[in-house]
Structure 1
Amino acid sequence: MIDVPVLVVGGGPAGMSMSLLLDRFGIPNMLAEKRPSTTTHPKARGCTARTMEQFRVWGIEERVRKAALPQESDVACWCESLNGPLVAYTQPAPVQNTPAPRSIVPQDAVEEALADELATRPGVALRRRTEFLSLAQDAEVVTARLRDLDTGELLEVRARYLVGCDGANSRVRDAVGIEMEGPPTLALMANHYYRADVGHLPHVRSAIGFLVRPRDRSRPDVNVLATGPRGDRWLAVQKLRDGEEPMSEEDLIAFVREIWEIPDLPVQRINVMNWHMSAQVAQRFRCGRVFLAGDAAHRFPTAGGNGLNSGVQDVHNLAWKIAAVLSGHAAVSLVDTYEPERRPVAVSNTEFAVRNQGRMDEMDEAFRRRDEDPETWRRLLVDQDNQLHSDGQAMGYVYRSAAVVDDGSPLPPHDSRRYWPADRPGARFPHLWLDVDRTETTIDWFDTTFVLVCGPDADEWESTGTRLAGAGAPLRVRRLPHLLGPLTIRRDGAVLVRPDGHVAWQAPGAGAEAQLAVALDQVLAHVPDAASVAPSEARGVEA
């Protein structure tokens, strides 16, 4: 029997992020992944600004960006051939409200960066080629059965919590009997990952993807997506018609040469992946001491790029809560807030992705009829900005749960395209540059502990926060040098920000020490779990 505070099943972006976060909080954990290495297929292609902000705090942002397309490539192009004419480009999204803009980077590069960072973490027991078989749980622990795929050895792991990040066909989800809601198949797709060096052509880095839509309907519609900055690795995404088989390697080579109009172009297929486009959300994100995150909890159409990103945000929300409970800073009931905070976001992201897929389907048809109806396709091209410009969807959600002390102030309008910064409870605390050289931002403050953000003249709140931190509260105090951002607190006010960067409580002006203590108690419940991890097992939420 192996004992560990947390077992994470599934070593994709969500699982590795969960394991890394737990280690940052000082919580030892085991990560079990059945694959022998990180993915060899660029399933997702793009990290939102919110995800890149977290990578910045974790110290891996630059490693991820090195594998990305240039920032100006964040557009889509409709064409009939990749050798022109390139008929229509969308507009690049504005970059604001973040120190870490969206990055057009393939999932394989993201996984490599996370794996490199995990390798430096002594608190992570990473077991590759290890398969999850089953679990049983009671009020205190989860016991999972695993199998080493190299030796066949059966392992029993006993953990306080188990987090299932094991993908769309989650065995963990099946083991706890959680059903999915929504259509399991909107379309059948085939991803053809191939190598073809066309980096010498001037337009290959001009878009995240080229949507090849031949006028001849007998030829396939294929999205050709760049997967790296060198112009030598590509993903051809084929939508399969009823009864249609994916292109063979021979057909793929012929197709690639045809659409690039280079008859002798060397083409090598790396691998192919068939998949179902779905629009599903798990009915529940938790069963007892077992949680679901990432694709195990939700499956979206790819339009809008929210799959990988939603998984990272799931575990960013969950990790600090589990860490606070296991370190004795919070009651067990804190983890009850995971589902009410994250499931509504997953539902919203699903609806957003379905709308986006409809936009693309409508645009495809209008593109083919552009000569006879140019106004429609131009209007629909402009409308694509409502899919590709999505800072509001990525950063604008406002959590409402017992882990937020709601003050009744108006909610910022939900706008998937535009992000409206706010310092009200439940919202992401806004990004503000703190120095002239723009090297430090408020986003950098939020990592492994609560932060009391004080206004420039909030001497009383600064003293109060310092006293509470000195008495053992999981709290740091930071003072804003100015109020130049979209904040509603006054110069003598303060906000309490959670480790995930979302506001837990707000004091618009000066107040009494008891207010902050009560707010922290309300968020954490401040009733230690009777079976909390011993100090030798966990460093806890950093104070």
Structure 2
Amino acid sequence: MGSTTSDPTTSYPVAIVGGGPTGLSASILLSQCNIPHVLFERYPSTSIHPKACGYNHRTVEIWRRMGIEDELIKKRAPVNMFSRTGWYTSFGPTGREIVSRDSWGGGAYEEEYASVSPCQYSILPQIRLEPILQKRALELNPSGILYNTEVTKVEEADDHVLISYQRKGHPSETLRAKYCICADGGRGLTEQLGIGWEGERDVMNMVSAHIRAPLSFHHPDIRNFITWFVNPRLGGTIGSGYLYHLGPYPISPDTEEWVFACGLASGERSMDGPAVLNRMHKTLQIPDLKPELLSTSYWYVNALTARRYRSKISTGRVFVVGDAAHRIPPWGALGLNTGVQDVDNLVWKLNLAVSGITSSLDPGANLNALLDTYDSERRPIGQRVRDSALHNLRSHGLVMDHAIGVSPSNPQIANVANMNSFLNASADDPEAVARREAVDRALQTLDAEFHALGAEVGWFYPDVDVDGEGKATNHDGQLTEDGQLDSVYYHPSTIPGHHLPHAWLEQDGRRLSTRDLVRYDGFALFTSRPGLWSKAVEEDGHGLVSLVEIMDKNMGSSGGQSSGWKDVDGEWATECGIGSSGAVLVRPDGIVVWRAKEFDQDKHSGRGWLSNVLRRALRLP
């Protein structure tokens, strides 16, 4: 456990409020940037109730850079336990499968998902994830992670933030920080800062039960990570509930844990433990099941984003991240992912603001314009994720249930009749066949939740594309014709604002991804012709730019150990978007900020152009 002592006279460059996955990730990144900081968490340790479970490639890439991917791999669910999702009437003797499908990179999507990243989509409940993050954060900052410590007030001054906090059993204390990262899970600081929220509040009242029970004995297809139930007597999917496993992995009947969750009916305000288990028994219909109830949680579905992600434009010293910036419905598993990606965007900018940049680029540079881009880049992402997750939630009732003919507004007898008609559809029953076809169409609509690679890894920052390169091609197809993000498919691109595409590289027996060669403390210039670009990097890179040479897969070493990386599968040549003499400049969080399709003697052999590119990327005047 972290230290519970501190010196109130000490001033830290950064303070973090909140020790959940987002706050701990911020701490690890700050430590890797050698930035002294303190983290306050009001609870005695990590979370005791399961929350998030699914982590997409972009998030796992960040954790890979933090050095925790190996531990995640050891503890996550096996791929064959989250490759599908399915809908059932129940697990009882008369239970029937309604429909099922491949999901989250399983089955038909396996090759597609494997091609986009060096990492893999991963399933691990938050109660097992947080200790991994906690361990790493404490390794890097053993005296700066303060548990049982509640922050009561955050006040901004001209050049610092005053943080009032109270350790359990101690009087209130105050600490100064240059900047503050608010990761308190939306528990009040966003409102205290006067930021406020926009979106839909209290969309639905939910209850979830964390249980231990040998449900794998009764599960018709353990490949289904989430199982959705449509009991016509309970009004449909949300009222019937859903079920997913928690491990520990490999799963064992003696220790396996699960979460059952459902929406409360109109007028129901809460449920005690026995009532939750009773609802679960009505849904699952497994005879003689005797689960052990470990915990329950009552929660409102909210679809909200903060009105600002920085407390004050151009001067604010507090930044909201994670649930303090957005409260995302869990349908689509993008909430925690978006929070971790928030801090990845923010911390490298704070690193430059705290540590400063080389005086040869801009003596006494003011980086407030760069810090403002945290809001302008991340807030639109939060808004889109908020809206798409709410759409996913409503799609279960408005799409899947509707296709079957089940609705909370229908008489129970009508719901039962429609379900029976669907389950017993015959070729000569037009109405039943129409329902079957409608369910097949519903499965395609639900791609936005279960096959959403574009939403998970294809998001990008349009503001970085200052020259408008993406307009002619709809950002290489990542935008649809009507300007919306293609949430289903990922379109690799090196247009500025996009993530550097993944390609496997080899050098002297080592195998890494292009994404592994991004440096979090500076910029990386990727090219196949380093001799053309080295002069500019040496003369105008200001110590912020390093060269990465990628050789064609057919090129051999010129003798001895090669300084270049070989494009072993030819993927870089396919995805790089530049010619043989071109270059791609990537900022610390893996986002492309500039590219040249070919080396231009007139433009690129003189002095100053790279300095101008860096100044633009750092928003320097």
TM-score (norm 2): 0.79
Is it true that 1:241 corresponds to 2:241 in the alignment? Answer: no
More moved, 216-225 vs 277-286 = 216-225
Question: 1:449, 1:499 within 8 Å by CA — same for their partners in 2?
Answer: yes
The correspondence for 2:401, drawn from 360, 364, 371, is: 364
Give 1:455's aligned residue.
527
**Aligned equivalents of 2:470, 2:269: Cα separation in 1:** 54
Cα deviations by residue, 1:249-304 (Å, 9 ceiling, x for unpaired)? 33444555565554343311111111110111111111111111111111121111
Alpha-carbon deviation of 1:91? 1.9
Q: CA deviation at 1:67?
A: 2.9
| Secondary structure at the counterpart of residue 305 of structure 1 | coil
Counterpart contact for 1:135–1:145, Cα < 8 Å = yes
Aligned to 2:263, what secondary structure does the other structure show? strand
Deviations, residues 24-75 of structure 1 (Å, cap 9, x unaligned): 1111111101111111111112001111111122221232233322224132
**Aligned counterpart, 1:534:** none
The answer on whether the counterparts of 1:449 and 1:476 sit within 8 Å (CA) in structure 2 is no
| Residue equivalent to 1:355 | 391
Gap change, CA 1:261 and 1:237, over 3 Å in 2: closer
Written as runs of structure 1 = structure 2, the 5 A alignment for 1:65-76 is 65-72=73-80, 73-76=82-85
Residue 234 of structure 2 is aligned to residue 198 of structure 1: no
1:153 matched to 2:190? The reply is no
Q: Take 2:120 and 2:23, find their aligned partners in 1: how far apart are those partners?
A: 23
Look up the equivalent residue of 1:494 and give its one-letter code.
A
Corresponding residue pairs, total: 522
Structure 2 Cα separation of the partners of residues 298 and 337 of structure 1: 17
Change (3 A) 1:207 1:129: same
Aligned partner letter, 2:581 = D
Q: Which letter maps to 2:22?
A: A
Match of 1:86 in 2: 97
2:503 maps to 1:426? no
The AA in structure 1 aligned to 2:77 is L
Output the amino acid matched with 1:30.
V
Structure 1 match to 2:429: none
Q: Equivalent of 2:585, from 491, 496, 516?
A: 496
Counterpart CA distance in 1 for 2:133 and 2:395 is 33
- The range that moved more, 52-61 or 408-417, is 408-417
Following superposition, the deviation at residue 117 of structure 1 comes to 0.7
Matched, 1:282 2:312: no
For residues 124 and 324 of structure 1, the distance between their equivalents in structure 2, rounded to whole angstroms, comes to 24
2:444 equivalent in structure 1: 382
- Distance change >3 Å, CA 447–CA 235, structure 1 → 2: farther
Measured after TM superposition, the shift of residue 447 of structure 1 is 3.9
Partners of 2:227 and 2:534 in 1: CA distance: 53
**SS class of match (1:484):** helix
Distance 1:344 1:526 in 2: 23
Counterpart of 2:382 in structure 1 is: 346
Counterpart residue number, 1:130: 149
1:27 paired to 2:35:
yes
* Aligned residue type for 1:270: L
The answer as to whether partners of 1:19 and 1:31 remain within 8 angstroms in 2 is yes
User: Paired residue for 1:518?
Assistant: 612
Partner of 2:200, secondary structure, is coil
In the aligned structure 2, how far is the partner of 1:25 from the partner of 1:445?
A: 16
1:108 aligned residue: 127
Contact 1:46 1:103 (C-alpha < 8 Å) held by counterparts: yes
Map 1:9-48 → 2, pairs under 5 A: 9-48=17-56
Letter in 1 for 2:515: I
Deviation, structure 1 residue 525:
4.8
Q: Which residue of 2 aligns with 1:391?
A: 453
Say whether the 8 Å CA contact 1:386–1:416 is kept in structure 2: yes
SS of the residue 2:574 aligns to: coil
1:301 aligns with 2:329: yes
CA distance in 1, matches of 2:70, 2:270: 36
- The CA RMSD measured in Å over matched residues stands at 2.3
Instruction: Give the secondary-structure state (helix, strand or coil) at the position aligned to 2:385.
Output: helix
How far, CA to CA, are the matches of 1:63 and 1:422 in structure 2?
31
Q: For residue 460 of structure 1, report the CA deviation from its aligned partner.
A: 1.6
Instruction: Extract unaligned runs of 5+ from structure 1.
Output: 528-543
Of 516, 532, 546, 1:444 maps to: 516
Cα displacement (A) at 1:120: 0.8
> How far apart are 1:248 and its partner, in Å?
3.3
Corresponding position of 1:250: 274
The alpha-carbon distance between structure 1 residues 201 and 68, as it changes in their structure 2 partners (threshold 3 A), is farther
Establish whether residue 327 from structure 1 lines up as the match of residue 345 from structure 2: no
Task: Tell me which moved more, 228-237 or 110-119.
Answer: 228-237
Distance in 1, matches of 2:220 and 2:609, equals 58
- Structure 1: which amino acid aligns with 2:322? G
1:11–1:32: 8 Å Cα contact kept in structure 2?
Answer: yes
| Contact 1:452-1:465 within 8 A present in 2 as well | no
Aligned with residue 60 of structure 1, among 60, 63, 68: 68
Q: Where do 5+ consecutive residues of structure 2 fail to align?
A: 1-8, 358-364, 407-417, 423-431, 480-484, 553-571
Between the aligned partners of 2:145 and 2:157, the Cα distance in structure 1 is 25
1:274–1:251 distance in 2 versus 1, CA, 3 Å: closer
* Amino acid in structure 2 at the alignment position of 1:361: G
Contact 1:28 1:123 in 2 (8 A): no
**323-332 or 240-249, which deviates more:** 240-249
Cα–Cα, structure 1 residues 191 and 500, in superposed 2: closer, same or farther, change >3 Å?
same
Kindly report structure 1 stretches of 4+ aligned residues shifted beyond 6 Å. Answer: none
Alpha-carbon distance change, 490 to 450 in structure 1, aligned in 2, over 3 angstroms: farther
Q: Deviations over 1:341-398 (max 9, x none)?
A: 0011111111211221121112134344451322212221232223211121122222
Greater Cα offset, 152-161 or 90-99: 90-99
Residues 248 and 365 from structure 1, CA distance in 2 versus in 1: closer, same or farther, beyond 3 angstroms?
Answer: farther
CA distance in 1, matches of 2:505, 2:218: 41
User: Contact conserved, 2:91 with 2:220, CA < 8 A, in 1?
Assistant: no
Q: Distance in 2 between matches of 1:488 and 1:331?
A: 33
> What is the CA–CA distance in structure 2 between the aligned matches of 1:395 and 1:319, rounded to whole Å?
20
Higher RCO, 1 or 2 (CA under 8 Å, sep at least 6)? 1
SS at match of 1:303: coil
CA-CA distance at 1:327 after TM superposition: 0.7
Question: Given that residues 469 and 495 in structure 2 are in contact (C-alpha distance below 8 angstroms), is that contact kept between their aligned partners in structure 1?
Answer: no
The one-letter code sitting in structure 1 at the alignment partner of 2:83 is: D
More helix by share: 2
Q: Is the 8 A contact 1:222 1:238 kept in 2?
A: yes
Q: Map residues 214-225 of structure 1 onto 2, 5 A cutoff.
A: 214-217=231-234, 220-225=239-244
Q: Which residue in 1 is equivalent to 2:182?
A: 164
Distance 1:257 1:484, change over 3 A: same
Q: Give distance in 2, aligned partners of 1:409 and 1:516.
A: 21
Output the CA distance in 2 between the equivalents of 1:177 and 1:124: 31
Q: 1:535 is matched with which residue? A: none
Aligned to 1:408: 469
CA 1:420 to 1:335, structure 2 compared with 1: closer, same or farther past 3 Å?
same
1:315 pairs, out of 339, 343, 360, with 343
Instruction: Give the 3 Å change call, closer, same or farther, for CA 337–123 of structure 1 in structure 2.
Output: farther
Match of 2:13 in 1: 5
Q: Following the alignment from structure 1 to structure 2, what is the Cα–Cα distance between the partners of residues 427 and 186?
A: 33
Which region of structure 1 is more displaced relative to structure 2, 118-127 or 297-306? 118-127
Hey, what's the Cα distance between the residues in 2 that align with 1:124 and 1:23?
A: 12
Which shows bigger deviation, 335-344 or 241-250? 241-250
Is 2:125 the counterpart of 1:119? no
CA distance in 2, matches of 1:223, 1:247: 17
- Give the secondary-structure state (helix, strand or coil) at the position aligned to 1:7: strand
1:245: how far off?
A: 4.5
Looking at structure 2, the residues matched to 248 and 151 of structure 1 have their Cα atoms a distance apart, in angstroms, of 31
Q: Aligned to 1:428, what secondary structure does the other structure show? A: coil
- 8 Å CA contact 1:405, 1:504 repeated in 2: no
